[in-house]
Structure 1
Amino acid sequence: MRRFLWSNLAAGQRNLSARRLVLPIERSIRMAYYANASSTTQALKQSLDDMVERARSANEKAKQASDGAEESGTVVSEAMNAD
């Protein structure tokens, strides 16, 4: 972006007044870029946190279902042994 901005200025205008024009534009572009990168990073982190939470929830449900199946299997085998 800097090259684009400087290329649009005539060679004779690369003086202090041109720098005063270009530098605030560069600064605002840089700030917007980093702000966008920061929000993108936060969105990715939130997405990863959500995926981890869903995986934990699914793992817990699977564990509960497994424990429930073991308990029902124990009850059935005890009932069969009682006969």
Structure 2
Amino acid sequence: MNFLLIIIVGGILGWLASMVMRTDGQQGIFLNIVVGVVGALLAGFIISPLLGQTPITSGDFDIGSLLVSFLGAVVLLAIVNLFRRGSVR
């Protein structure tokens, strides 16, 4: 059940990150989910311990872990855009 929640929340965070980065029309829902989940996982393992937050994978969906996961999705989307188009936006 926790895995399903991570996919749903990751998809929403990936969609929000794509709206912030203005790439929503260029990618589908599958890439939104992938970017959101992978960005949340990477941010949860790298940034969360530095800030003293619990990662989203632990099942804690508090505002701090959601913001860290959103930040991870935005950074990952910027990296994907850099390799796909040669620019961040």
Q: TM-score band, normalised by the shorter chain?
A: 0.3 to 0.5
Point out the structure with the larger helix share.
1
User: Which has the bigger relative contact order, CA under 8 A and spacing at least 6?
Assistant: 2
TM-score of the pair, normalised by structure 2: 0.35
